[in-house]
Amino acid sequence: MLPLHSTGSMYSGPPPWTGLCVKIITGRHKGQLGIVHDVNRSNTSSSGLTVTLALIVYTPKQTNCVITVDYNDVREPEYWRTLIEMCPLKGNQSFFHLNSNYTPKQVEREYVSLQRFDIPSCPTTPQPSLDTVRAESNFWNTMNLSESPEPEPSHWIFSPAFNGHSFFVSIAPAHPKFGGFGKYVTRNDHTLSFQKQGGHSEHISATLIQKPNPPPLRTTKHLLAVIEGDHVGQFVRCIYWKEINSEEMLYIASVANLEMENETFNHDIFAVSRIKVVEVLESSSARNKGWQLCKALRHKIGLA
């Protein structure tokens, strides 16, 4: 006997498009992104399908709002294709075929069906004359390709000082397996990775790395990295903190000689919002030494 879908109807295969990131193009949640969690048949929909989404919107409890929308109300974010154009149904998913009289709704952005893509004709390039070839034969000899600079990534984790360190971050919900989880992500030059169970590592794109929202409370006791504002790229430790205008401010001191394991403080204390720092992974001995430095500085300024 075939399994029952969430509506109670029988279906012939797993729901399509689960895990895909889509954009809502109409209704109350217009413009928001969501991850497809489920697909159901619907007798009231012109398309015949409804889609259950987890909105990519953070709340204070770090939970995502789950909603159900019409299949006709979502598109893939980049080219606004329908889901069936982006990922056609498989042979065992006939239960999820669209209604025979359904056509995609026209939207504000021009809707382009894949069937309308045409390959433009390419004009024939004339053959160069022998004189032209001789005149330009030294072009590649005079051009040093090794001098072409690599584009500098704009993500905060690619700050020069952060190379070789691991940062506690949130993985974006778009990640198929670890979306919404907190992980230590390690940066080595232009490569980012995190550890999985069993000691294996997995590479990750910078576009899937988000700062914890909100940062964990334990960040006040660890080595921190400033990722926004005037002091971005600095490693710091929190000396004390207090709330100002409903915003938690950390009063921090910049860390010097971190790479040489001879940590010291090299700047006056300054304030930064807790949402502008992330925790840095460090050894237990380095953490203990840093905490002793913080206690000494607190005593020096009369906070001990």
| pLDDT, mean of each 10-residue run, the chain (304 residues) | 44 79 87 88 90 76 77 83 81 83 65 42 55 52 47 77 90 82 88 83 89 63 86 87 76 76 76 86 83 83 71
Q: Nearest 5°: phi and psi at 108? A: -60, -40
Q: How far is CA 40 from the centre of its chain?
A: 28
Closest CA to 54 of 13, 22, 14: 22
Residue with tokens 């239960």: 95
pLDDT at 214: 60
Q: What local confidence, expressed as pLDDT, does residue 129 receive?
A: 59
The verdict on pTM exceeding 0.85 is no
User: What is the model's pLDDT at position 70?
Assistant: 93
d(CA 223, CA 228) in angstroms, rounded, equals: 16
Q: Specify the DSSP class assigned to residue 118.
A: -
From residue 43, how far is each of 7, 8, 47, 97, 99 by CA, in Å? 11, 13, 9, 13, 10
- Alpha-helical (H) ranges within 92-163 are 130-135, 139-142
What is the pLDDT, as a whole number, of residue 94?
Answer: 80
CA distances from 254 to 207, 222, 232 (A): 28, 13, 11
- Provide the 3-class DSSP secondary structure of residue 47: coil
> Quick count: other Cβ atoms within 10 Å of Cβ 277?
27
